[in-house]
Amino acid sequence: MIVSVLGVQIELVSIQRSKLKGLNADLLVRFDYYYTVFNRKELCVIQCKNNESISPLKYQKITELIEKIIGMPVAVLMKSLLYYERERFISQGVYFIVSDKYAFLPSLIANVRVKDEGRQHMKLIPAAQYFLLYYLLENKDCGKFTIRELEQILPYNYLAISRAIINLENLQLCKVTKNGAGTKHIIFEETKRELWEKSRKFLFSPVKKVLYSDKIWEGTYSVSGLNALSHYSRLNPEPYNTIAVWDRMFSELSMQYNEIEGICKIEVWKYPTFMPYQPDNKIVDRLSLYLSMKDDPDARVENELESLIENMPW
């Protein structure tokens, strides 16, 4: 389902019941549940299945309960609201969306004025950036995917991939179509070089935080930092280990860490440090490496990173 909020077209993806564990039977029966990303923030949208009249106070209690269980803001989707009804919903702090006419989403639309301006403030979410970089790096040049196909490729589940697609589509980095059977196809229309240039303003460094240890990390990791750059360039490797670990696989309880120094530098990444079907899976990919090091003050590093991008086999 597509709805428009302040001129921004957003897609609502149905949330399966298996993802709504903790909600009581009454809430599951009374409402349809949808997921979307708006202005870089996740949002659950609920819609009453019938014409039942629910007071703003009751909606306040319902949305607060759902938010505590699913861990994201909740908005009510409605076909219409009279002026005095809108005022009552606002006074109760209930988020709502009424077609393209009205929306009360104070924590989500503070920076949004019009569609294009809103897009300038947005960024890719980690799963979306990971998928985009995977496509830019793959050799087959296949610009068309289904979500089911991506489930077999990417280390994310169906819901996470759906969120990523919504994010990419909202930023106009991909196009989503449906065939006669209702299967969604995710299509990249630009050349890979064009898509890279178009997406750069939305990209971020994958590094969430940096820690140091005097012990070598024994879990799953990929080589990163200068040692990874030396693999792709003419720079000499450094004597110290710099590794990248996906934050889902990292636990600060497993070793002793500090934020100053150690024989092992550990970058905790926001998305996986390895790319499917890439030949050098023990080394972070070229594009993520560029994003993680592009602000390094060393002129040698800057030159090699630029060469890395210029020599990409787009």
Show which of 143, 172, 202 is a domain's final residue.
202
Tell me the per-residue pLDDT of 70-95, one tens digit each, with 9 for 90 and over.
888 999 998 888 877 888 888 888 99
**SS3 at position 46:** strand
Average pLDDT, the chain: 86
Q: How many residues does the chain have?
A: 314
The tokens describing 309, both together, are 């991008």
Cα separation, 283 vs 232, whole angstroms: 10
User: Quick check: 202 and 262 in contact, CB under 8 A?
Assistant: no
Give me the domain span that covers residue 213. Answer: 207-310
Buried b vs exposed e over 38-53: b needs ≥16 C-beta within 10 Å? bbbebbbbbbbeeeee
pLDDT band of 109, cuts 50, 70, 90:
low
The answer to whether residue 18 scores a pLDDT higher than 60 is yes
Q: What is the mean pLDDT of residues 164-190?
A: 89
213 and 282 assigned to the same domain: yes
Q: What is the mean pLDDT of residues 117-131?
A: 75
218 and 182 assigned to the same domain: no
Total tally of structural domains belonging to the chain: 3
pLDDT band of 219, cuts 50, 70, 90:
confident
194 and 212 assigned to the same domain: no
75 and 129 assigned to the same domain: no
84 and 31 assigned to the same domain: yes
What is the structure's pLDDT at 72? 87
What is the structure's pLDDT at 61? 93
CATH code at position 144: 1.10.10.10
User: Quick check: 103 and 83 in contact, CB under 8 A?
Assistant: no
64 and 92 assigned to the same domain: yes
107 and 162 assigned to the same domain: no
Q: Where are the beta strands (DSSP E) in 122-281?
A: 144-145, 175-178, 184-187, 207-213, 222-223, 241-246, 264-269
88 and 27 assigned to the same domain: yes
Tell me the per-residue pLDDT of 132-153, one tens digit each, with 9 for 90 and over.
999 999 887 778 999 999 999 9
What percent of the chain shows pLDDT beyond 90? Answer: 50
**SS3 at position 117:** helix
Q: Which residue is associated with the tokens 């009453």?
A: 48
96 and 6 assigned to the same domain: yes
Cα separation, 21 vs 142, whole angstroms: 37
Show which of 91, 114, 137 is a domain's final residue.
114
106 and 8 assigned to the same domain: yes
Show which of 56, 91, 114 is a domain's final residue.
114
16 and 78 assigned to the same domain: yes
**SS3 at position 91:** helix
